[in-house]
């Protein structure tokens, strides 16, 4: 859509946006009729918001319908690539989204990051779930992937404990249940070696475990690259359980198959050759040195969390100890009783504001008398 970049155009589009906020339909109609052609679809030069964006964000369904009747396009995009329908879905405005959908809004448009409208519906509210249903009914892509290769179904599964119904609906609508980050697919498609070892002894699976990327660990582990020792050293319980499950499901060699010829003596099976092989395997998957391990783990979320739970951060006692303990306030009956006792001692003069104790009263009177004598 046209981008207002001239001064007069800027003034007109800002006036239209102001009228949308003030719900001034007469002025909007006048500006679109006498102003620049297609002014109703112009976007402001700062954020790229159009009049329909503002109406959708505020969930003003009356204004949304009015703007559409004036020729507003439902697929105009802001500078982030978001349409009014995406903004409405992000805030859970199902009524505005329903009107935009009936106006034939394109549900397959993606923003600058490659996210379709379903990415804006992954929130744990019923309104966002209904927005997802509206988008799916009007052609939203259930297998949409971001520019980084992350599928929408994988994004929904990351929040599955809160959006279970959304995940099930995606599956019913044809989402790929085996969807993973496509970066890994490209690496394997071009024969990328997932067993390469860095200078510090780490493999791709090591880094996936350290970063807590469960999908990457699963995909790499399915290709036969396992590093349980590194997972235990760096990853959380989910990654460890995932790798352990994959290792347990690997096919085991047949135990009933009898070897041909004479079996080798036990001394050879337990000889130093086997030990050497074990040493090479252990050396290949050895955890990095202690110095490097500390450097790599100091910013790791799992490591920091373990320090907090172990009480590492509680070196200084910050418990507040008040210097004065306040006693409970006196009840009404106690206050009345105190007033009666004061009356018995000092008569009813205690009820007046100018009451003074006898000693203080005597001193005050003497002082006033001396002051009067000096003035005379």
The CATH number covering residue 244 comes to 1.25.40.20
pLDDT, greater one: 293 or 146: 146
* pLDDT confidence of residue 226: 43
Query: Do residue 209 and residue 225 come from a single domain?
Result: yes
Owning domain of residue 224: 182-250
Range scoring the smallest mean pLDDT among 104-113, 209-218, 313-322: 209-218
Query: Do residue 15 and residue 76 come from a single domain?
Result: yes
How many domains, in total, are found in the chain? 2
* Calpha distance 104→110 (Å, rounded): 16
The candidate with the shortest Cα–Cα distance to 93, out of 54, 149, 67, 66, is: 54
Give the tokens for residue 50.
């159009």
Q: C-alpha 257: how far from its chain's center?
A: 54
* Calpha distance 309→319 (Å, rounded): 18
Range scoring the smallest mean pLDDT among 97-106, 172-181, 192-201, 212-221: 192-201
**Separation in Å, CA 345 to CA 335, 348, 351:** 16, 9, 12
Query: Do residue 52 and residue 164 come from a single domain?
Result: yes
Q: What is the pLDDT of residues 243-256, one digit of tens each?
A: 677 667 766 655 55
Query: Do residue 203 and residue 151 come from a single domain?
Result: no
pLDDT, greater one: 375 or 60: 60
Q: Are 61 and 31 within 8 A, CB to CB?
A: no
Query: Do residue 135 and residue 214 come from a single domain?
Result: no
Place of tokens 């030069």: 45
Query: Do residue 35 and residue 175 come from a single domain?
Result: yes
Query: Do residue 162 and residue 230 come from a single domain?
Result: no
Mean pLDDT score, 326-352: 80
In a domain? residue 116:
yes
In a domain? residue 21:
yes
Q: Coil, strand or helix: which one is 181?
A: coil
Q: What is the pLDDT of residues 33-80, one digit of tens each?
A: 888 888 999 999 889 999 999 999 999 999 999 999 999 999 999 999
In a domain? residue 114:
yes
Query: Do residue 50 and residue 158 come from a single domain?
Result: yes
Give the tokens for residue 264.
């080798």
Q: What is the pLDDT of residues 90-136, one digit of tens each?
A: 999 999 999 999 999 999 999 999 999 999 999 999 999 999 999 99
In a domain? residue 290:
no
In a domain? residue 34:
yes
Examine the fold and report which residue of 179, 202, 237 is the final residue of a domain before the chain moves on. 179
In a domain? residue 108:
yes
Banded pLDDT at 155 (limits 50, 70, 90): confident
pLDDT, greater one: 105 or 183: 105
Range ranked top by mean pLDDT from 17-21, 262-266, 288-292, 301-305: 17-21
Query: Do residue 56 and residue 80 come from a single domain?
Result: yes
Query: Do residue 191 and residue 170 come from a single domain?
Result: no
Banded pLDDT at 182 (limits 50, 70, 90): confident
Q: Coil, strand or helix: which one is 275?
A: helix
Examine the fold and report which residue of 235, 250, 265 is the final residue of a domain before the chain moves on. 250
Q: Are 87 and 50 within 8 A, CB to CB?
A: no
In a domain? residue 141:
yes
Examine the fold and report which residue of 179, 196, 215 is the final residue of a domain before the chain moves on. 179
Query: Do residue 108 and residue 193 come from a single domain?
Result: no
Banded pLDDT at 18 (limits 50, 70, 90): very high
* pLDDT confidence of residue 225: 46
* pLDDT at 194 > cutoff 60: no
Query: Do residue 19 and residue 94 come from a single domain?
Result: yes
In a domain? residue 52:
yes
* pLDDT confidence of residue 290: 47
Report yes or no on whether pTM surpasses 0.75. no
């Amino acid at each position: 859509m046209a981008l207002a970049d001239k001064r007069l155009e800027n003034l007109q589009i800002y006036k239209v946006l102001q009228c949308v906020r003030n719900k001034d339909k007469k002025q909007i109609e006048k500006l679109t009729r006498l102003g620049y052609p297609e002014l109703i679809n112009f976007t402001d030069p700062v954020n790229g918001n159009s009049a329909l964006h503002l109406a959708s964000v505020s969930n003003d369904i009356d204004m949304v319908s009015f703007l559409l009747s004036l020729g507003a396009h439902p697929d105009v995009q802001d500078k982030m690539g978001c349409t009014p329908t995406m903004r409405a879905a992000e805030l859970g405005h199902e009524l505005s989204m329903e009107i935009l959908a009936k106006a034939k809004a394109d549900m397959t448009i993606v923003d600058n990051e490659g996210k379709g409208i379903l990415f804006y519906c992954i929130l744990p509210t019923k309104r966002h779930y209904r927005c997802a249903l509206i988008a799916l009914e009007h052609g939203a892509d259930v297998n949409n992937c971001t520019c980084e290769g992350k599928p929408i179904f994988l994004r929904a599964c990351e929040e599955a404990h809160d959006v279970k119904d959304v995940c099930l609906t995606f599956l019913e609508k044809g989402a790929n249940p085996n969807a993973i980050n496509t970066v890994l697919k490209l690496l394997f498609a071009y024969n990328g070696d997932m067993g390469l070892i860095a200078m510090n002894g780490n493999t791709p699976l090591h880094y996936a475990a350290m970063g807590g990327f469960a999908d990457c660990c699963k995909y790499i582990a399915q290709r036969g690259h396992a590093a349980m020792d590194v997972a235990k050293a760096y990853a959380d319980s989910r990654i460890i359980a995932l790798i352990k499950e994959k290792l347990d499901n690997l096919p085991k060699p047949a135990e009933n198959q009898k070897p041909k010829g004479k079996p080798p003596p036990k001394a050879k099976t337990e000889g130093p050759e086997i030990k050497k092989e074990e040493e090479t395997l252990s050396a290949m998957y050895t955890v990095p040195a202690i110095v490097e391990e500390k450097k790599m783990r100091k910013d790791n979320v799992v490591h920091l969390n373990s320090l907090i739970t172990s009480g590492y951060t509680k070196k200084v006692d910050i418990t507040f100890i008040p210097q004065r303990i306040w006693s409970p306030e006196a009840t009404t009956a106690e206050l009345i009783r105190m007033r009666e006792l004061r009356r018995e001692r000092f008569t009813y003069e205690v009820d007046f504001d100018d009451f003074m104790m006898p000693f203080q009263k005597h001193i005050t009177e003497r002082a006033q008398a001396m002051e009067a004598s000096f003035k005379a």
